Chain A
């Protein structure tokens, strides 16, 4: 059976030379990220260029994604959170398009690499920390000391809040990475059943219908997961940014 991990292999396309001991290589991951940028730019710039009063199909798609992210930001970070809208919208579209690229057969899932998702999560948490300390100074630390808690359990609650804050970049990055990784491995395992049953002859062909149907159903599920995980990443980003905007509980 084909190795289900093989699909996540980084393949060099263009070797760009060395910086120190680190080799700089343009890989298939870089290619797909540039592809995602191209698709997003096409959707947001070219599709809305007409500025029709009654939007066409592509323009409604762009407007709907804008309205969707704007409503998410407003509901979880308030009107003040709209200053982060460009950041949140870029994150959402980037992750969504990369996840959807992964569903295309033969495509490469960039978000199934922990280093990519961790870089995105570190960007979010870094923004929260820098903005929180810049806006509120040391009062930002009140985030860890909830008000209205009895004094004798306050140290314990503060410790829990600190641990919960520290685990945020890990959970944010690992959630997206593990969902994409596990989903695509499952897809490949079922697709492998089709191939190995099909090799058995006529009886195998009949048996292979079951895993083939399962692969189709799982692809639909993966489509749902791809959109859902992009949304989950966005809404958690908004909630964390809300902490930076309003640190007191």
Chain B
């Protein structure tokens, strides 16, 4: 296979990992929202934890984006 074509295919495949992070971030916000609607008074106190969970989950998606960017521009 042509190395450039393989590079682009690899970058595209790496981006699939971001879908998993998308599902994870969606689950976090969905569960936060359903919890917040059940007990609105406790919602504000959990905002920092929400953002922490979001950041940690998002990091994995960002890693796969990084792999794609490295394949496109560095390799």
Contact = CB atoms under 8 A, between A and B. Distances in A.
Contacts of B69: 178, 181
A72 B48 contact: yes
B62 A232 contact: no
B32 interface: no
Nearest to A114: B66
B30 interface: no
B55 interface: yes
Contacts of B56: 171
A75 B48 contact: yes
B51 interface: yes
Instruction: Give the interface size class of chain B.
Output: 10 to 19
A235 interface: yes
A232 B58 CA distance: 11
B62 A175 contact: yes
A179 B62 contact: yes
Given A72-B48, A76-B48, A235 B65 contact: no
A106 to B, nearest CB: 24
A231 interface: yes
A193 to B, nearest CB: 20
A88 to B, nearest CB: 13
B52 A175 contact: no
Contacts of A175: 55, 58-59, 62
A246 to B, nearest CB: 17
B48 A178 contact: no
Interface string A72-85: 10011000000000
B22 to A, nearest CB: 13
Nearest to B72: A5
B59 A239 contact: no
B55 A236 contact: yes
B63 to A, nearest CB: 7
A236 B52 contact: yes
B59 A174 contact: yes
Contacts of A75: 48
Contact of A232 (B51, B65, B73): B51
Contacts of B51: 228, 231-232, 235
B16 to A, nearest CB: 16
Contacts of A216: none
Given A175-B55, A175-B58, A235 B48 contact: yes
Interface of B: 48, 51-52, 54-56, 58-59, 62-63, 65-66, 69, 73
8 A-B pairs with the lowest CB-CB distances in the bound complex, closest first: A171-B59, A232-B55, A178-B62, A175-B62, A178-B65, A175-B59, A174-B66, A75-B48
Interface of A: 5, 72, 75-76, 171, 174-175, 178-179, 181-182, 228, 231-232, 235-236, 239
20 contacts: A72-B48, A75-B48, A171-B59, A171-B62, A174-B59, A174-B62, A174-B63, A175-B55, A175-B59, A175-B62, A178-B66, A178-B69, A182-B65, A232-B51, A232-B54, A232-B55, A235-B51, A235-B52, A235-B55, A239-B52
